[in-house]
Chains A and B, each alone.
Chain A
Amino acid sequence: MVLEIRGLRVGFDVPSGRLPAVAGVDLTLRRGETLALVGESGSGKSALAMSLVGLNRDPRTHISGEVTFGGRNLAEASERELRSVRGKDIAVVFQDALAALNPLHRVGAQVTEMMRAHRRMPYGTAMDRAVELLGEVGIANPRASARALPHQLSGGMRQRVMIAMGLANDPAVLIADEPTTALDVTIQAQVLSVLRRASADHGTAVLLITHDLGVVAEVADRVAVMYAGRIVEQGSRDEVLFNPQHPYTIGLLGSVPPIDGPVADRLPAIPGSPLTGVDRPGGCAFAGRCAFAEDACTEQPELRHRHGEPGHLDACVLPDSVRRQARGAGPDPQPERPERPEQLEQLEQAAGTERDLVRNEKGRS
């Protein structure tokens, strides 16, 4: 166990109140594994990842809980302590490599700087290691590429430079936030194989944040699905993808049009949109969009083992028969619902009408 998260909460102060981006998450990351954190925009996956190393610390951000790494609680560590961990023991690869790299410095020098920031090392030695790293992540002619400025490289190459920087200090944990989202599928496949090789060769634990279930299928060992700031399902890749238990996971998997197998006439879409505002009614956050919600869903469900292999956890109180029905349901499942509790109607309204604060902010930046 490299990293242990207990009861992590992240709240952002926004004009309308405090946005509970992460509402109590427990998660462990083991050595050498790739754990995919899956969720849609506003589900809190990036807020979670950034708060692990204090990258979103700000007077308007409230982080609480425990992030245990090497016997320390990073959630309460000083900025100075965090700086010694960040980039050395826990490295971060961002989605937008062009924004994350300094446009005025040659990429080789940027990889070098990553090493020299954390240990005393002659520049020449560091540069040799940087060139070696660039070669390892599949950059052709690394010696020459090290002299390139970021804009002279393509998107896929820049993303590899980011990964090389991430691996520069042989970190115990690599947090990769949507590392392939901006890339074409052909390049995405290349970058993912680099990531997979790196984690195998260095024993690095990778926390992969993504919304792309195909990427999860490709590289993850374990998967945690986030919805409205909480983990709703967690387990091995095969369990979560091929034996999903939570109606949200089932719906999410069903929404992806496959590239093989029969073509559905209509996609089984999840109605409504996620809760993203400051007001979160109690109970299961997905109940408002769930075709199978019932009275019991107005209570906040716990994430625990309910079905399938040990280690497969979910936060849904519905019985097995309903889950089977959810999995087998064709397009637009509309089961009979005799009576709907009033609280549920409120949840539904919240899901349908709430505006997407987080996404709007993203769109503006």
Chain B
Amino acid sequence: MTSPPATSATSATEADGPVPAAPPGTPLIRAEKLRVEFRGRSGGKVRALRDVDLEILEGETLGLVGESGCGKSTLGRALLRVIEPASGTIDFLGLNITRLRGTRLRRTRADLQMVFQDPFGSLNPRRRIADIVAEPLLRARGVSKAEAGPIVAELLERVGLGAEAGPRRPHEFSGGQRQRIGIARALASSPKFVVADEAVSALDVSIQAQVLNLLSDMVRERGLTMLFISHDLGVVRHIADRVAVMYLGQIIEVASRDDFFSGPAHPYSEALLSSVPSLRPSGRRERRVLEGELPDPANPPAGCLFQTRCPFAEAQCRTRMPELRTVAPGRTVRCHLPLVTGPALPSRAQSRKADPA
């Protein structure tokens, strides 16, 4: 957790121009104790994000996974300032953007873009493709329509639609093609950070592969940093450098892609991974079917939020909420009894032996 030097933070806050580029390996965007609350059915507050700490490094693709309702989309939207957090801060390249307003916010937005899930609902059916793609350029970068023209044409070419798609309207395109339009729009203002929220989930597999390839090409070509939100672990494994797992509004594990898929540290991550049917001849793997369902976020259980479904839960899990702690280099987990442990911690096997109860 290295925070950027105070001097650069203040100078960035004061500077009105474009945000300076950071060297690789430093956080591009960082959430600290980010909390989002919605009003629940019975009038009470439902906490959708429970003090989330998360760093996304410059140039990386972070995969964010979890079941529906765990807060993945809320986190993605909160980072882009689409949803106002109740508390906590969002740092973008050392600049605290949590409370930005007006022109400053609009300018920052040029660097923060989003690709949506629904290829039908996310494009205005009455507007021409060229205008849809040009929108963020005009709004956030203050480019004139004439200047935007060639940029848009080039983008449409790059996403595989061709500049001749410009004067047409969304209904003339299939789901996969619309998703390409959504990607072109997200890239129009040359953002530094893109949130792709289930960007390929609504597509058929053969089309999904095309769009995934396009997304990873774009990330590589433009040095983009991406938060890739998905419930599909295979897709996340394909595209992400690191993986973060959410459960009931909390981050419960963050690990590198290879570490995560070769052996998740949190029992929930393991259950999630083992629920995915395998397509290999080794075939029907030993499956741990997770019992029960996501608890009601308005009435979360005491102690560890996962204890109601955890096969390993013991006394301390029912009373004490585990912290998100580092168990190995680059690997954090929120569990009293992680499946992967660092040298300083007693392993699960040892703790079992010591305390058979």
Binding site for B on A (CB under 8 A): 40-41, 154, 156-157, 184-190, 193, 211, 213-215, 217-218, 238, 241-242, 251-261, 263-264, 266-271, 273-274, 355-356, 359-360, 363-364
Contacts and interface: CB of A to CB of B under 8 A. Distances in A.
A252 B204 CA distance: 10
A268 B209 contact: yes
23 contacts: A40-B206, A41-B204, A156-B293, A184-B68, A185-B231, A185-B275, A185-B276, A186-B67, A189-B290, A213-B205, A213-B279, A218-B277, A238-B281, A251-B206, A252-B205, A252-B206, A253-B279, A254-B209, A255-B205, A258-B237, A264-B238, A267-B212, A267-B238
B67 A269 contact: no
Interface of B: 67-68, 119-120, 171-177, 204-210, 212-213, 216, 231, 233-235, 237-238, 257, 261, 271-273, 275-281, 283-284, 287, 289-290, 293
Given A258-B280, A271-B210, A359-B175, A185 B204 contact: no
Contacts of A186: 67, 271-272, 275, 289-290
B280 A257 contact: no
Contacts, number: 130
A261 B67 CA distance: 24
Given A190-B289, A214-B278, 7 more contacts: A211-B204, A241-B281, A255-B206, A260-B280, A267-B209, A271-B210, A273-B176
B213 A266 contact: yes
B289 A273 contact: no
Contact of A188 (B275, B279, B293): B275
B279 A241 contact: yes
A41 B174 CA distance: 11
A184 B279 contact: no
B110 to A, nearest CB: 29
Nearest to A218: B277
Given A257-B235, A259-B233, A189 B293 contact: no
Contacts of A270: 206, 209-210
Nearest to B309: A186
A255 B209 contact: yes
A267 B213 CA distance: 6
A150 to B, nearest CB: 16
Given A214-B277, A356-B175, A269 B287 contact: no
Given A186-B272, A255-B209, A215 B293 contact: no
B261 to A, nearest CB: 7
Q: Which 10 A-B pairs have the closest CB atoms?
A: A214-B277, A269-B209, A257-B238, A356-B174, A40-B204, A255-B209, A363-B120, A267-B209, A270-B206, A257-B234
Contact of B205 (A217, A256, A261): A256
